[in-house]
Each structure stands twice: as structure tokens, then as C-alpha cells.
Structure 1
Amino acid sequence: MSQRKKSVSASQNKTQRRSQASLNEDEEASFSQVSSSQVQRARENFTSDQIDRKVAEVVQFILIKDQKKMPIRRADIVKHVIKDYKLLYTDIINRVCRTFEQVFGLKLVETDPKNHIYILINKLDPIQGEPVSMRSVNPKKGLLFVILSVIFMKGGVIKENLVWNSLKKLRVDPGEKHDEFGDVKKVVTDEFVRQKYLEYVKIPHTEPVEYEFRWGLRSEKEVSKLKMLEFVGELFEQDPQSWTQQFREASTVDSSSQRTSS
């Protein structure tokens, strides 16, 4: 690419970023400037049946977006679903949250308060008597659970070659096409990362370039570290408390999570 083309491309990217930032600021301003009297008038302009339908539409929209486990933007909800009901956004989204929790056992979590991005997480407890060994989950979730376990047991951050070596021991080679997962490396570094289950981060000042894995935001919200430690204990036929540091962290995180959700 010529220097001139690079310069034009960089300029276009900067313009797009400024434009997006301006849109975000405009959107934020339009929400922050809504008065209680405007909200009250809006409530009087719509019937309860109309609001019920709008809540159902938002629920359906979020469920469709979440099928690919992609983040859900407030701007998209407003633009594609809320539309003329924008003044009632808070009322509607609160009812949507209650619907997800009471009907689906899911929780709508705002992961980015600045840009107002949401994800759905599963808040259902495992069925009583269900083994911790993850035998009932789909293959990809099983693969993810193994990777999360390795990261957790190794202190929360590990180099990618340790992940690949751990998978090879389970006869899952990232360099070969797998019957269940297809391109294993793509599933782990692309799909799981896009879904916010994993973070795949370049390690500074490495030559050749190296990467490391961490738990993603969705995993931190959705996965019980205590249950994971029970799973590891089951695999190695050891008491989970024998891993002192991990047990302390898992117990602290899970009790803190319970207090937040109650």
C-alpha cells in the first residue's frame, strides 16, 4: 500500500472514530436530558398492552442477538425496537430484566456502562444431584470449561502454548481439524473471544510474538469458580480444599457474587 493510501485510510479511520464518539455523546445526552415529567407523559400516551408488546419485542430481540453470544448495544435496542417508546426505555428495560430472570433464568448484565453494552448470562443453578463433571454440556462448552480450568488453576493468566499443550493431552490438537470442533484454534482464539468467554492478549516485547489467555468478562459473570474447583477435584480425586489458594479465591468470589445478586 502506498504512503498516500495509508494516510487516506488512517484519516478515514480517525473520522469514523470521531463520528462514532459524537454519536455516543449525542445518544448519552438524549437520555440524560429526559425529565421525570416527560417520562410521566409518555406513560400516559401508551396503553399497558402496548408497553407489554414492546417489552416482549425487546426480549425477543435480545434473545436473537444472544444466540451468537454477541454483546447487545443499547443504541441498537433503541434504534430497532424501542423507537417511539424511547422515553420509557428505563421502564421497559427494567421489565425486560425481570422477564429474563423470572421466565428464562437469565440475567441481563451491563458490561460497559460507558457505551451501554449488555450480555445475557445464565443464572440457573445446576440441577440437584447433577454431577459436576460437565458430562451433560455440549462439546464446545466442555472444551471451554477445560481451558477455563487450566487458566484458573495456573493463577489466572497463562501463555497460549500451555493451553495448546493441555488440549493435546486430551487428543485435541489445535493444528489439526477436529471432528467435533473443526478448526480448534479458531474456535478458541476467535469464537470464545468474541463471545467474551476468553481474553486473548498479545504479550508486550516478545519476539516472535507470544499471546496469553485470561478469563473473559462473560466467564467471570457466568462461571462458578467453586464449581470449577469441584470439577478439577473430581478429575484428580482430591479434595478441592487441597488447592488452598484457588479454594480461597473461589470461595471469596462466589460469596461476593451471591451478595451482589441477592
Structure 2
Amino acid sequence: MSQRKRLSNTPGSSQGKRPSSSSVAQEEHDDTAFTQPSTSQVQRGMEKLTPAQVDQKTAEVVQYFLVKDQKKIPVRRAELVKHVVKEYRTIYPEIMKRAARTFDQVFGLKMIEIDAKNHMYILINKLEPAEGPPATRSPTNPKMGLLFVILSVVFMKGGVVRENLIWSTLKKLRVDPGEKHEEFGDVKRVVTDEFVRQRYLEYVRIPHTEPVEHEFRWGQRADVEVSKTKILEFMGQLHEQDPQTWTQQHREAHSASGSSQASSSQR
């Protein structure tokens, strides 16, 4: 996608910094204060604007999504309305519909909502099979390879894993979270901050632990993008075993694959 790569120097591409708790709280307040306009409100709003104005605002929303997607950061409705849509909020549904059409027809991308409660959106490559895009289906990017290993451990261990198991697994692969890695830099920051912000992982504090301990779970983006059947195949090759010997994981992987294909065909 050459169109996407050229956006790396676009103003706003440095917005990958982790927001403070106060800014997140403010965004959540902004979102609860935002009411989705009705069809009649959208129609009245459209009558007050020229086609060029609507097209320009749609283009700004598309660019904002693409810049965020460079770093795999989900777009929150609250920040989109506040920083981009602004005074055009009365036609927000129409802008989003046009933006989704642009992603579909121009970029081969699908805009989906991964968090209905907090209204968070991501872009996925709709030209790939339902199991997931190339980076997470057969990881060639080193950072995606690191993520694939972590997701594999979490999946094979039943969906929830204490962080010390993840760190010990990475150490066996000569990736020490306590040392700076030549490829990943600060490994612990990449795993607990970057992958979490991108919604590939959830990093959750375990109650009543002293010293404080955390556990990892699959994130919302991983559920959409990463193929559990591919992870099972990967583990089978690694251990020279038939993937079906892991009966529970095999059942879950094929159940997830079947449901994703069904929803894809319905769309």
C-alpha cells in the first residue's frame, strides 16, 4: 500500500504516545456527551454544507485513520469527533459511511469497530482471507514475530498467562526483557505498552499480589487479525506434533475460524 507509506511524515503521525489517564478520562467523558445524530439531523446538516465541504472533511477523517494505522493504534470515536470531525459532528454518520467506502474502494481496507462500548475502530486488510493479514498469519516482520510467539503462549495456555511465564519464554529465545535488544530496543516497553496500545494484548494487574503481578490475554485486535489455526499449525511444526493432539485448542481454533468465515460471508 504505497498510499499508506507516504503518510508517515504527515502531521499527526507522532500521535502514538500513550495518553495520560486524565486525557483518556476526558475522551471518555467527551464520548458519553456525544449523541449519534438521527437520520433527520444528518439530512438537515447535509443541507447546510456543500458537497466539497463534506468531501474535504471525509478526506481528513481518512487521513487521520491512515496515520493512526501506521502504528496500529485504534481510533477512538471521542478523539475523532473532537480533533477531526469538530463542527461537522451533526453529519458524523455520513462522514464515517463515506470514509468506510473510501477505505474499501481505494485502499482495499475494511473499517471495523473492535470495541462497541468505547467505540474504537481499526483498519484491516479485506483483500486477505478471513484468517488474518500476512503480518500476523505468517510473521516476517521481527516485531510481529515477537508478538506471534507471545500470542501463541497465551493461546496454548488457555487464554490467560502470568507475565513471568512470558518473560521466561522470551529469555529462552534470547530476548531478555531486562536488557536492550538490538532489534526491539526496550522489549518490556514494546510488549506491555506498544502491543497493549495497539490492542493486540491485554496486560491486566492480578488483584492482591505483592509484589504486584500482571497477566496477559489476547487483545481485541488480535481476535480480529490473528489466526488461531495458524498458531496451532506453527506449534505443531515446532513440537513435531499433529495439531489435533491439542484437542481443546484445536476445537477453539476451528470454531473461531468457522465463525469468522460465516460473519465474513454475511457481510
TM-score of the alignment, normalized to the shorter chain, above 0.5: yes
Instruction: Describe the superposition over 1:194-245 as per-residue Cα deviations: whole angstroms up to 9, x where unpaired.
Output: 2111111122222332221111111112111112212222323333222211
Work out whether 1:155 is the aligned partner of 2:162.
no
Q: 3-state DSSP class of the match of 1:214? A: strand
Task: In structure 1, give the amino acid aligned to 2:34.
Answer: E
1:236 is matched with 239
Maintained 8 Å contact 1:132/1:231: no
- Paired amino acid for 1:39: V
1:256 and 2:259 matched: yes
Residues matched between the structures, number: 240
Alignment of 1:186-225 (within 5 A): 186-225=189-228
For the structure 1 residues 131 and 189, does the alpha-carbon distance in structure 2 shift closer, same or farther, using more than 3 Å as the test? closer
Paired residue type of 1:259: A
| C-alpha spacing 1:258/1:163, structure 2 compared with 1 (3 Å) | same
Q: Which residue in the other structure is 1:105 paired with? A: 108
Instruction: Name the counterpart of 2:34.
Output: 27
Q: 2:55 aligns with which of 29, 52, 55?
A: 52
Partner of 1:115: 118
TM superposition shift of 1:256: 1.0
The alignment partner of 2:232 has SS state of helix
Pick closer, same or farther for the CA change 1:123–1:168 going to 2, 3 Å. farther
Q: What's the counterpart of residue 78 of structure 2?
A: 75
2:175 corresponds to 1:172: yes
- CA deviation string 1:172-206 (max 9, x = no partner): 11122111011111211121112111111122222
Separation (CA, whole Å) in 2 of partners of 1:185 and 1:88? 42
Instruction: Report the counterpart of residue 10 of structure 2 in structure 1.
Output: none
SS in structure 2 at match of 1:207: coil
Query: For the structure 1 residues 245 and 114, does the alpha-carbon distance in structure 2 shift closer, same or farther, using more than 3 Å as the test?
Result: closer
Q: Answer yes or no: is 1:183 the counterpart of 2:190.
A: no
Larger relative contact order (C-alpha < 8 A, sep ≥ 6)?
2
Secondary structure at 1:168's aligned position in 2?
helix
| Alpha-carbon offset, residue 120 of structure 1 | 2.6
> TM-score with structure 2 length normalisation?
0.78
Seen in structure 2, the aligned counterparts of structure 1 residues 259 and 161 have a Cα distance that, compared at 3 Å, is same
TM-score, normalised on structure 1?
Answer: 0.79
* Aligned partner of residue 234 in structure 1, secondary structure: helix
Q: What letter matches 1:109 in structure 2? A: I
- Tell me the CA shift for residue 47 of structure 1: 4.1
Aligned letter for 1:85? Y
Change (3 A) 1:56 1:70: same
Alpha-carbon RMSD: 2.8
Quote how far apart the aligned CAs of 1:72 are.
Answer: 1.4
Flag structure 1 segments of 5+ consecutive residues without an equivalent. 1-12
Is the Cα–Cα contact under 8 Å of residues 121 and 218 in structure 1 kept in the other structure?
A: no
Q: Does 1:134 align with 2:138?
A: yes
Consecutive aligned runs of 4 or more in structure 1 exceeding 4 Å deviation: 19-22, 130-133
Change (3 A) 1:20 1:240: closer
Question: What SS does the aligned partner of 2:34 have?
Answer: helix
3-state DSSP of counterpart to 2:138: coil
Change in Cα spacing, 1:114 to 1:165, as seen in structure 2 (3 Å) is closer
1:145: which partner in 2? 148
Q: For the residues of structure 1 that align with 2:136 and 2:121, how far apart are their CA atoms?
A: 28
| Percent of residue pairs identical | 63
C-alpha separation between the residues in 1 aligned to 2:257 and 2:245? Answer: 18
